[in-house]
Amino acid sequence: LRNNTEMEAPMTRSAAAFLREQRVVPGGSMRHASWFPPHPPYAARGEGCWIVDLDNRRILDCANNFFSLVHGHAFPPIVAALTDAIANGTAFGLPMEGEIALAEALAARNPRLAQTRFCNSGTEAVMAAIKGARGTTGRHRIAKFEGCYHGSYDHAEVSLESKPEEWDDAAGNPASIAYAKGTPPAVLADTVVLPYADADRCAAILKREGPTLAAIILDPQASKAGMVPMPAEVIAAVKEACRRDGILLIVDEVVNFRLGLGGISPLFGLEPDFVTLGKIIGGGLPVGAVSGPAERMAVFNHAQGKPKVALGGTFSANPLTMAAGLASLTHYDEAAVARLNALGEALRQRVNQGMEAAGLPCRMAGAGSLFRLHLGARKVADYRSARPLPAETEALPRIHAAVLEAGILLTPNCSGALSTPMGEAQVAQIADALIQAVTAEVR
């Protein structure tokens, strides 16, 4: 007879690493957004669209470091650019040609991105754009859309995960709800929350609040709001308020810049005052940026002494990030953008047709190379309708786990991003795994 100890499966190297990490890192992982029980696999290295974990499993990576790796892992042109750059030193506190080249590359893709200042994260970019709008207008309040994620700056995370019943009856709009404990009450008072898909209500709220607002920040295809397009009528109401009341428009393209050569704004007819960028423009290194027309970006100009709003930092426009970012964008040209978007379209079609044919109440939303799975038959139009119902909240982690068991990493809410090393074989693998996982869940 074997005793209990002998019958237990040997501990995986990922499980051992998790135990070890818990001793020195609260929660045993640095990333709560990619956390799932019992613990995520520990990555050992990446190769193209694959992650190899500590236990030597090859996992098809659709999480792509929170959608920031448009070329997957260890993309040879990025490795070459970094190898060249690193031999010359890693930080100077002086301007370098690399930052000019990356800013020029952005301007060449979209004239609205005429000038840029780099920072180290999307969160920092959003914070700087909001401060830039305040410095320009002399007002301090902002408006944002319910449930939309713009990083972890206080104002940007208001009502990030508010509940449907959290509604301000007196004001007729979603209530401003703190996401993080310790959010100062002034932050809530200074952040107006707009519904993502209700144009009449948006227009009414903006009519009332418009004259006090420095900026409206939006992402027209926000992942947390279901990864569905913001209705044209809502965008029209925003544009009208900006024109009427002198509010500046910030479009957060930290994720969605990858959807078009010049980003997502041109696809929605948006002409932002500031665009916040991050993720793919850093080629896999930490990055953020604020871009916009020269007259708007002048608020950050320090050439004549103290700028109205300071935007800089010890590692801003780091030469390694600049080199990796330029290689990333150079190889994400018009043809590459079109190919990856078409691959995403093929994935959605294959999944949706497969789900429909099997009678499964499940649809894939998204655009271009970004996708998100919705359980249930209802139409998803905004953050509220995208919120999983209680039964779906229980099913999603099981679907996520089953897909991981089949060798594919999605984000915990079953969204994902394709990368350029992927092709039709990977689309088929993802679609088949999802359909199988949902079938097992429903039957």
Q: Which residues bind ligand PLP (CB under 6 A)?
A: 66, 121-123, 126, 149-151, 219, 252, 254-255, 278, 288
Owner of token pair 């690193």 = 86
Residue placing its CB nearer to ligand PLP in the complex, 247 or 280: 280
Torsions phi, psi for 223 (to 5 deg): -60, -45
Tell me whether residue 64 or residue 115 sits nearer to ligand PLP (CB atom). 64
Q: Which is nearer to ligand PLP, 311 or 435 (CB)?
A: 311
Residue sitting closest to ligand PLP (CB): 122
DSSP structure class, residue 269: T
Nearest to 100 by CA among 116, 113, 112: 116
Closest to ligand PLP by CB, 14 or 162: 162
Question: What is the smallest separation between the CB atom of 219 and ligand PLP, expressed in angstroms?
Answer: 5
Q: Which residues of 108-117 are buried (b: 16+ CB within 10 A; e: fewer)?
A: ebbebbbbbb
Please state the closest distance from residue 287 (CB atom) to ligand PLP, in A.
Answer: 7
Q: Which helix (H) or strand (E) holds 60?
A: strand 58-61
Measured from the CB of residue 23, what is the shortest distance to ligand PLP in angstroms? Answer: 26
Q: Which is nearer to ligand PLP, 137 or 223 (CB)?
A: 223
Residue 145: count of CB within 10 angstroms of its CB? 27
Q: Which two three-digit tokens encode residue 326?
A: 């330029």
Shortest separation between residue 380's beta carbon and ligand PLP, angstroms: 18
Q: How far is the CB of 175 from ligand PLP (least distance, A)?
A: 22
Q: Which parts of 322-383 are beta strand (E)?
A: 362-367, 370-375
Closest CB to ligand PLP among residues 36, 66: 66
Q: What are phi and psi of 117, to 5 degrees?
A: -125, 130
Residue with tokens 């693998």: 429
Phi, psi of 25 (to 5 degrees): -130, 120
Nearer to ligand PLP, 14 or 265 (CB): 265
Buried b (16+ CB within 10 A) or exposed e, 413-433: bbbbbbbbbbeeebbeebbeb
Shortest CB 153 distance to ligand PLP, Å: 9
Question: Nearest approach, Cβ of 325 to ligand PLP (angstroms)?
Answer: 13
Amino acid at 396: L
Cβ partners under 8 Å of residue 111, min gap 6? none
Q: Which is nearer to ligand PLP, 125 or 197 (CB)?
A: 125
User: Which are the contacts of 87, defined by CB distance < 8 A and separation ≥ 6?
Assistant: none
Q: Name the minimum Å distance from CB 193 to ligand PLP.
A: 16
